[in-house]
A = this chain, B = another copy of it.
Amino acid sequence: MKVTFTLLIFLFAALTLNAENGHDLWLRAKHTAPVNVVCSGKSPTLEIAKQELHQGWQGKANATFVLKKKHDKLIKGDGYRLSPGGIEANTDLGLLYGVYDLLRRQQTGEPITEQVENPSYERRILDHWDNLDGTIERGYAGRSIFWHGKDSLAVTEKDKKLWQEYARADASIGINGAVLDNVNASPLVLTTEYLKRVRAIAEVLRPYGIKTYLSVNFASPSVIGGLKTSDPLDPQVKEWWKNKAKEIYKLIPDFGGFLVKANSEGQPGPQNFGRTHADGANTIADAVKPYGGIVMWRAFVYSANDEDRAKQAYDEFMPLDGKFHDNVIVQVKNGPVDFQPREPFSPLFGAMKKTPVMPELQVTQEYLGQAVHLVFLAPMWEEFLKSDTYQEGKGSTVARCTDGSIFQQTHTAIAGVANVGLDTNWCGHPFAQANWYAFGRLAWNNQLSSDQIADEWVKLTFKPTPAEDRTHSTVLPIVWNINFLKPVKRMMLESREAAVNYMMPLGLHHIFAPENHYGPGPWWAPKGVRKDWTPPYYHQADTLGIGFDRTENGSNAVSQYHEPLRSLFNDVNTCPEIYLLWFHHLPWNYQTQSGLTLWDDLCYHYQEGLDQVRSFQKTWDKAKPYVDKERFSVVQKKLRKQCINAQVWKDACLLYFQQFSRMPIPYNIERPVHNLKDLIENDMKRIR
């Protein structure tokens, strides 16, 4: 034991960790050995593939490695066949993807045996909620990398360098599309001066296989087109969209298509003209159809009526199933409300059988601590993708309902709302990079486990390079695996459940402070504000109990799920406790599976969340010898804030709900350290 310890000390000292600003993401590998690349083809994409091999090869020195385009039925789309001696693919891009996979395996020590890798989705897209003035809606990593405002539309070399780096990062994890502007879209993006900048971006992204898309404002024909209407059935409007598509495709022949947020949260849409979502989507889809473009039409809609918000997307879109043209994909957020720390899957998945449906995930952590909290989202997405909808029998997971395994679809796609900005480290929090990485990996392979993704990312992002390891021993990697990889992975894999625990456990949802969606605000309900924009609408706490009754006796949202889920969710005895208060309003003294009262169980969950963050702090502090000073310090500081925040969440929610439960906080958990009044007042101050 003593010997081992001495050895460890010695090995720590044998690391020379270089300064790291995080800009290189998971692509830190440096050239270590020469390689002989054989590749007969020529294209910008192939040039990149070759360059990456030369830059990053960590296999046998002077080995020969073959890149070969070859038609193979087992290979789909931009998939590839990887083997120790080379890569085969149907497309140049498939070869590039194979190269990134090979290099990743070399670095992480994964085996390189012969295998075919095909993408789960045809289109793997990042949605950038970037405004044309350079701000980013729900962006926490600085301003936009694409837009700097109307006076800076000229493209600079700095822009191009950054876009190229961005494209490389995307391509390395299989992302092949980018929506360049906010879903709350400015009509201006479709004007010629902005389209020219889009073309410039597309030119940089193209060699990396990334198609550009634009979010468009449904009222564009009238706002920038000078038409009297934007009615989608109006012949002039149809014509306008056709001409606009023509203009775009002339500039950008491989343009991906449009993303539309219509009749949602104040955005214009076909309903303004008495038309349906299908009418609206089809008109725009028809315009891009000749060029192979698609329209992603968002199902994120809810009106200010009394109907349970969680039911509205389903109610509005199900009647339209089969009415959409075949190049329309309905884009559905993972949950029925809005990117909460935990939601059941949206009942639209698997239910729209004649319409392609694509999941919209949120990579940027709007409701999960933004760029301050360390929350690894892969476990949340894995939970979602593996949820069984039962729509076509047992095993009809969300993944299989959307990737073409179950339904015949012309197109399959998945989107993630990006967390990328001008910050040096791209994402604000070093660990937020892992969410970008995880989205890309899951979009490529929706069966990947969170553990696998975390394993890869930690190794690629933090493992000392051979140059940093002065011992060049075989022991250091083992020491690193035990003392860094394992605990840091454990922290990441636990982090989302921790956030659920300290924010909104047991099925609670949307009890955030308004607007910024960062801290707690279960009390927030000013007069005159739409009820479904206030937390009390969601938690429904009163002296009798807490939770949103969505059973048959309540809003009957359970009816939107296929059996056996409908009955399972409807019955409090079979409803999974992670969704308990999502589906049920229960008395404070209801006995949970733990044997505790609901109130006590809630208290213990909040304490558990806080304790988990404290354990993350310890994990990270212990990891210090294995991390460069810069990233160690940034993460350490953010974890401290997360801990303070977790304490605020716990106190705010327990003290607020205690007013209704009128039950003591169990005496073997820590007492609140904040006063409710102060928390509410600070909240109000921030809003004003």
Contacts and interface: CB of A to CB of B under 8 A. Distances in A.
Interface in A659-688: 664-665, 667, 670-675
Interface stretch (A298-306, A417-425, A466-474, A637-645): A637-645
Contact of A640 (B614, B637, B641, B672): B672
A640 B675 contact: yes
A664 B621 contact: yes
Nearest to A677: B637
A486 interface: no
A672 B673 CA distance: 16
Contact of A671 (B621, B647, B674): B621
Contacts of A617: 670-671, 673
Chain A: number of interface residues, binned into ranges: 20 to 34
Given A621-B664, A621-B665, A664-B621, A640 B674 contact: yes
A618 interface: yes
A451 B102 CA distance: 74
Contacts of A665: 621
A622 interface: yes
Contacts of A621: 664-665, 667, 671
User: How many copies of this kind of chain does the complex include?
Assistant: 2
B637 A673 contact: no
Instruction: Report whether over half of chain A's contact residues are helix, strand or loop; otherwise say mixed.
Output: helix
A630 to B, nearest CB: 15
A665 B617 CA distance: 12
A610 to B, nearest CB: 10
Given A621-B665, A664-B621, A637 B671 contact: no
A675 B617 CA distance: 13
Contacts of A644: 673-674
A673 B618 contact: no
Nearest to A616: B671
B618 A643 contact: no
Nearest to A637: B675
A255 B458 CA distance: 79
Interface string A602-637: 000000000000100110011010000000000001
Contacts of A639: 671
Contact of A667 (B618, B664, B674, B675): B618
A210 B352 CA distance: 89
Contacts of A672: 640
Contacts of A673: 617, 640-641, 643-644, 647
A633 to B, nearest CB: 9
User: Which of A617, A641, A671 gathers most chain B CB within 10 Å?
Assistant: A671
A108 to B, nearest CB: 28
A670 B621 CA distance: 11
Contacts of A674: 640, 644
A637 to B, nearest CB: 5
Interface in A208-234: none
Nearest to A639: B671
B622 A671 contact: no
Contacts of A637: 675
A647 B670 CA distance: 14
A664 B632 CA distance: 14
Contacts of A624: 664
A643 B671 contact: yes
User: Which of A665, A670, A673 gathers most chain B CB within 10 Å?
Assistant: A673
A217 to B, nearest CB: 42
Rank and list the top 3 A-B pairs by shortest CB-CB distance, nearest first.
A617-B671, A643-B673, A640-B673
10 contacts: A614-B670, A617-B670, A618-B671, A621-B664, A621-B665, A621-B667, A639-B671, A640-B673, A643-B673, A647-B673
Interface of A: 614, 617-618, 621-622, 624, 637, 639-641, 643-644, 647, 664-665, 667, 670-675
Given A617-B671, A618-B671, A621-B671, 12 more contacts: A614-B670, A617-B673, A618-B667, A621-B664, A621-B665, A621-B667, A622-B667, A640-B672, A640-B674, A640-B675, A644-B674, A647-B673
